[in-house]
Amino acid sequence: MVIAGAISENDGNPAKKHKVLVIGAGTCGLRAAEVLIQAGCEVKVLEARNRVGGRIATTTKLGLPLDLGANWIHGNVGNPIIAIAEKAGSSYSIDELDDTIVFAPDGSLLPKRLGDEVVTKMWDYFDEGITYSAQNMETIKPNISFMDYYERKVAAEEGWGEERKAYQLQVADLLGSIVATEIRKQDFRNLHMEEPIPGENLFLSSTYGPVMDLMAETVLKEDGCLELNKPVERVETVQTADGGLVHNVYTKDGHSYTADAILCSIPLGSLKQDRVKFDPPIPERIRQSIKHLGYGSLEKTYITFPNAFWMDGPSYFIFLADPTASDRKTMAAISLAHIAAPHNQPTLLFYTHGETSKHITSILQFSTSPQESRQKILAFFQPYISRLPKYSASNPDCIPRGYVATNWLNDEYAGNGSYTNFPVGLVDGVEDVKVIEEGVKERRLWFCGEHTAPLLGLASVSGAYWAGEIAAKRCLGSFGIAEEEIVTA
């Protein structure tokens, strides 16, 4: 990115640079800081954790790196993350992970063609629902969930027997891992806010790690710009003697900082909990919009084995919900053994959302020893593992060697959840996002993150990146730099 035209009144006088403080060093905060640094601002980034990346994080606990948060680049058309991933030398998987089999609630395998039809139909309903809600927002009644719409679609299908309809209804819960809650809780009127960036979904087999390294590069190179382990607790805005204003920012460890402008990129879940206090308080319209939007839960559990005993079969497994067991929701697992070398590993990735996520993370929270949580988590997934092709209880390759389960729900710096969603009853989510994104210009205070992204990027890494860029431009605008003067490359 090249910034044409610097901050005019300060040209050649670095001491008079505008001081901007960015709260949070996730994708959004890092991108915002990068744009501001390149425009000549004096930028300070305060990050609560001992690392950058926020909801992008990798672990090597099971050997090769694994993403604990984001793993996919959603939509490769016009997506800014693609260029960074290319520069980072990333590897992707697309088709390798598409070969699906579906297990019926009784554990039997659905015929391949039927399984594929059920899954394709689920995606068709989702896409049609997005289009319908975009075109009919004004006339859709409030308090209708996406599941209500989905059920009507299934009921209207002609020529399907009861069993076929039941499969179609059971598979629907998988979409909860897109919207980070049960789809019965997803508002139908606002479903169009889930529209993805166009193009293919790419699974970053080399993980987001190298991508994040590049995203953090500018900030890390800037002397003294980034401070880790600095949870911000309070932002106080005061008038100066000359009629201007200054922000005093206080961190948990008792330090304070001053700035001319604030970009607050903490998660929506943290804003909802007032994790950073503002004095004077943030305007009521923004508080209300923060309240209206939802904040969902999505967790990942990786289970690794001595060898990928399922290897000769498909790569994507769907287990339909068992109606006789309330804790046996529809589940999906991806085989990381199928991704191309050198990133392949004998590991399964299970996604959980909503109540199932709460169940898994409560095990992590309340177990009294690592052995207890290991035993309980592996026991939870065992009924799924035992259905996989070539599973045999007596084969040592079928005994898990280790696991990693994420715990975003208990992570206060992730806002105790995963990303923004749109709960039943939400009236106008687009307006709420706009209200938060516009911030408090007169106070030079902006909120940004995946929750303030342009519509197609909401709740994603790409959206967080765009949101950082937009907030930085708003901030530069308040210093008198017009949008046209900021040239992005």
Ligand X SMILES: Cc1cc2nc3c(=O)[nH]c(=O)nc-3n(C[C@H](O)[C@H](O)[C@H](O)COP(=O)(O)OP(=O)(O)OC[C@H]3O[C@@H](n4cnc5c(N)ncnc54)[C@H](O)[C@@H]3O)c2cc1C
Task: Bin 480: left if φ > 0, else alpha if -120 < ψ < 50, else beta.
Answer: left
Which candidate, 399, 397, 431, places its Cα nearest to that of 311?
Answer: 397
CA distance 274 to 144: 29
**Least distance between ligand X and beta carbon 199 (Å):** 13
* Among the residue ranges 1-9, 327-335, 432-440, 459-467, the one whose residues contact ligand X (CB under 6 A): 459-467
Per CB under 6 A, 56 contacts ligand X: yes
Give per-residue burial for 448-465: e unless 16+ CB within 10 Å, then b: bbbbbbebbbbbbbbbbb
Nearest approach, Cβ of residue 411 and ligand X (Å): 8
Name the residue nearer to ligand X (CB basis): 28 or 41.
28
Separation of alpha carbons 243 and 56, rounded Å: 41
Tell whether residue 290 is a contact of ligand X (CB under 6 A): no
Distance separating alpha carbons of residues 77 and 445, to the nearest angstrom: 32
Of 149 and 208, which CB lies nearer to ligand X in the complex structure? 208
Give yes or no for residue 439 binding ligand X (CB under 6 A): no
Q: Of 9-17, 63-71, 209-217, 365-373, which segment contacts ligand X by CB under 6 A?
A: 63-71
Binding-site member from 37, 48, 202, 476 for ligand X (CB under 6 A)? 48
Tell me the H-state helices in 396-453: 429-438
Nearer to ligand X, 154 or 276 (CB): 276
Of the candidates 36, 169, 263, 298, which one interacts with ligand X according to CB under 6 A?
298
Phi, psi (degrees; rounded to nearest 5) at 137: -55, -40
Please identify, using beta-carbon distances, which residue of 29 and 354 lies nearer to ligand X. 29
Size of the site for ligand X (CB under 6 A): 42
Q: In this chain, which of 90, 190, 270, 356 binds ligand X, going by CB under 6 A?
A: 270
Instruction: Assess 178 for contact with ligand X (CB under 6 A).
Output: no
- Give yes or no for a contact between 462 and 73, defined as CB atoms under 8 angstroms apart: yes
Binding marks (x or -) toward ligand X, 408..427, rule CB under 6 A?
A: x----xx---xx--------
CA distance 113 to 291: 44
CA dihedral 97, 102, 108, 114 (to 10 degrees): -130
Toward ligand X, which CB reaches closer, 55 or 185?
A: 55
In angstroms, the CA 131 to CA 191 distance is 9
CB of 195 to ligand X, least distance (A): 14
46 touches 432 (CB < 8 A): no
The 10 Å Cβ neighbour count of residue 45 is 28
Q: In DSSP terms, which residues pair with 3 in a beta bridge?
A: 486
Residue carrying structure tokens 């059971």: 170
Q: Which two tokens stand for residue 337?
A: 């053994």
Measured over all CA atoms, what is the biggest interatomic distance in the chain, rounded to whole angstroms?
79
Among 62, 249, 276, 388, the residue binding ligand X under the rule CB under 6 A is 276
Nearer to ligand X, 10 or 362 (CB): 362
Computed from CA positions of residues 423, 427, 428, 433, in that sequence, does the dihedral angle turn out positive or negative? negative
Nearest distance from C-beta of residue 104 to ligand X, angstroms: 28
Q: Which one of 79, 206, 265, 357 is in contact with ligand X (CB under 6 A)?
A: 265
Interface with ligand X, residue 69, by CB under 6 A: yes
Does residue 27 belong to the site contacting ligand X (CB under 6 A)? yes
Q: Kindly state whether residue 26 participates in binding ligand X, applying the rule CB under 6 A.
A: yes
Contacts of ligand X in 387-406 (CB under 6 A): 406
Residues that bind ligand X (CB under 6 A): 23-29, 46-49, 54-56, 69-72, 74, 231-232, 265-267, 270, 275-276, 298, 300, 406, 408, 413-414, 418-419, 449-450, 459-462, 464
